[in-house]
Amino acid sequence: MDLQPLSSRVVLPPGGWASVLDFLCERFPAVGRDAWLDRMARGVVRVDGAPASRLAPYRPGAVVTYRREVADEPRIPFEERIVHLDDDLVVADKPHFLPVMPAGRHVEETLLMRLVRRLGNPDLVALHRLDRGTAGLVMFSARPSSRDAYTRLFREREIAKTYEALAPPLPGVAFPLLRESRIVKGEPFFRMSEAAGPANAITRIDVLERGERYWRYRLEPVTGRKHQLRVHMAALGAPILGDTVYPALRADPGGFADPLRLLARALRFVDPLTGQDRHFCSERELG
């Protein structure tokens, strides 16, 4: 069984390349010919679904799929935990710093790829995402036949998500509160910002614990905008501890000493397959 999902694809354009190998070497020069030959020998490059050999002829319109690989990818020294496992659903408790999906320089050291290897199931698909810096619960569909039922929970907002965060005190603010604002793309491209206009982002916010330096907040997103919780906390004047993006960019210290203190603590929903009330909780602590 192939446990390595083929995560990238390219449709061969019109051109005069003699072979698929020649095209890949020219299109992706950073990979190198020897690396493409090695991938072909291991069967992780395919043309229209069939393993590609070094002599595979070039055919415009053919679909080439391949698994991205990163040389010397660093190990993330923290482990995920499986909170729930059945034939249809996997719930994992993700550590800080571990990406959910392969992207950029993170391919094998991602929650998805770790679970694929650990469970021997290449059909795993993440039903939602957490930022690399956020720890906590992530749900995965374990088989295609029931996937749409679980996807619908998120699409129709039928799943309750609870987060916790450490951030500076807000003694002058009355809690609980409902933060409603319009969140749009900001500058640079990976940031979001609040703007004038009808609200498209809603978060319920309360205080769980009041410390001298930091408070522990409960955050319940009603909507799911990118970076919504981080933007809303920063806008209130209490940016989440460890955030290098909000309210303003600052240098990432690197390493693993200063994580974003944001945790996806709980998920609650009615299971669309069984009708049972499901409630999963992370056991991680924010410090």
The CA-CA-CA angle for residues 39, 43, 49, to 5°, reads 120
Contacts of 229 (CB under 8 A, 6+ apart): 163, 165, 203, 219, 221, 240, 262
Distance CA(128)–CA(173), nearest Å, equals 32
Catalytic residue among 22, 123, 131, 258, which? Answer: 131
Cis peptide, bond prior to residue 247, ω within 30 of zero: yes
**Residue 131 a catalytic site member:** yes
Measured CA distances, 35 to 40, 41, 126, 166 (Å) = 9, 10, 29, 44
Q: In sequence order, what E strands does the chain have?
A: 8-11, 45-47, 50-51, 63-66, 81-85, 89-94, 125-126, 135-141, 160-167, 177-185, 192-195, 201-210, 215-221, 262-270, 277-281
Q: Is-contact 171 234, C-beta < 8 A?
A: no
Count of H-run helices and E-run strands, the chain: 5, 15
Distance CA(45)–CA(20), nearest Å, equals 10
**For helices 20-27 and 33-41, angle between their N-to-C axes, nearest 10 degrees:** 130
Does residue 35 sit in helix, strand or coil? helix
Q: In sequence order, what E strands does 78-134 have?
A: 81-85, 89-94, 125-126
**Bridging pattern class, strands 135-141 and 89-94:** antiparallel
Catalytic residues: 131
